[in-house]
Structure 1
């Protein structure tokens, strides 16, 4: 009895990579994809028969529907009982030994495939002629063995592809996780560096008040404790509304106003308060601290600090009319930490400027 040739499948080759756990979601998707691929192979056999055979007798029925059904059943059995288990077992070996096991695996697959195809097809045809089984097996082995091997390589290549993309995805995920941890560590380091800097400078202001005005010193300590309590609760990813940030800034300015009294004047200007945006907590305090620290140098008049917030443009402008900037201004520790924190949260989506505008030293932050 003449049999049609088994469908030919291209030989795709992909590099070997890490192993997929069959019990995971990826492993389940791999099994589903293998079943789909093998179903397409079986259906292609049906289409070939419909295209090239015009007879309507029993032999046509057998070639068109029975034989492809046998191919489908045998293929699925071998996928789950031999191809997948054998593949994962072979991954334990390396080099030439691994190659030899793949060759042996392919030979075993081909032998079992032909034997099961012939046996199951014979059962469907209800034939007891042993010579038929032998002749049919020889026909498939001589005329269709290359297609059997191609089918095997096709199935293996699917597993290779899944493992390749799984490893690539895992590497990307691990890289992102490492980057997040590094950013978190960097933020914590900045926070650890900022708190002593802030605490030291603020305590200096309070110490200066103790002998002059005990009540103001007490009020300043309360404001400082509120700020420290808040700063210790900050998490690396935390952003707060601009209104909350300005409230914290007012607590800090209360400390400085208690110290400098009438020598320090603070003006506020708000535009389009109907909208809002978020900033890292206590990001503005080092800027105002810098305005006071450097603004009072070399002047014998009132220091004015203006704080302008444009809620729509997400812009904050803090200016002081104190000591002018040098020709080549440099950032101190506090301002450098401000820039690094903005970079941590917003990447390239922010602008930071420090410049002299007439008699004003201007710090500007704008989120993009």
Structure 2
């Protein structure tokens, strides 16, 4: 066999190895078994034709026999099959073995990455937990102070004692909602209860009466929400809405249906320069937290003109 024939043979054997391996990697790996079978059969048929041409074609005989062409070279099935199997079996088996070796290596690498990611997450969780617990020293102390003041005030001013009690419960709700190991979901009904406490406290704090109409319909016990979302939406009303027009109150509508719920906030914009600038931090956090909990089941839309603003949050479990 000439040097040229040897180079062609090595190149062709490498082609067999890599074609089989690539079919397994990019087709079989994705679960396309029928596609793998079709491609394998197609490749072996094409390769078989090339083997036939090399054995019985003039160009192939010239390469192998160094231009000494055998006249009337009859076709022989046994010789053809033997040559075909010798050229394909070893390199196909090697390609299959290499594929499984790479698969196991990739699987081990993925497991190692998963372990490292879990260790990193646990380390971050401990850091966040420490930070959160440290940050709660001050609110916890304040909650104890409110409780102490309530006990002192109750005998002299029952209404003020109730207000202090509402402050204590609301502060406790916030502390539990922002605890690292706390619940990520709470019942929509509990969130509405906390919102009512928040509005009740604001009625005592605000110097002028404000008008926010809260309406709920449907079974709020069937669905969950991220804690403090409603308080964030109400807080934005106190920052940016005109809440002092009795004829045009701000509205918070909560509608629970069969497969989800919708929260709509409508308000008249405050005229003149804004007292507090908007950085969209609160609404951005609401979006991120709700998308984290509900994924594509959650949507959030804003609509506004020069005088009015509308925000709609929707959680729909079955689309």
TM-score, reference length from structure 2: 0.49
Higher relative contact order (CA 8 A, sep 6+): 1
TM-score, with structure 1 as normaliser = 0.43
